[in-house]
Amino acid sequence: MLSANGKKSDVDASLAERCPDWDPRSGEVQNDQIRAYDHMRQTCPVAYSDYLGWSLFRHADILRVLTDHETFSNIV
């Protein structure tokens, strides 16, 4: 798979093969979003979906991603 800059990327290939951890569009999530998000915080606080990509469910994790630019980056 090619990345945005046209180079082959192992990261992109691994995401293409990844199984989703959750489906934010499912009826169960849509019917009770608070319960679904509470469940994700407890069981899978960093989750992947085909629709949204990566989702973080815990406040501390979100703050770390937003402030730790050396570890977390959108540069591939």
Strand partners, 49: 53
Predicted pLDDT at 75: 82
Distance CA 38, CA 44 (A): 10
pLDDT of residue 1: 37
Instruction: Give the model confidence (pLDDT) of 43-53 as tens digits.
Output: 999 999 999 99
- pLDDT (tens digit per residue) in 5-60: 444 545 555 556 789 999 999 999 999 999 999 999 999 999 999 999 999 999 99
Q: Is the alpha carbon torsion for 11, 14, 19, 25 positive or negative?
A: positive
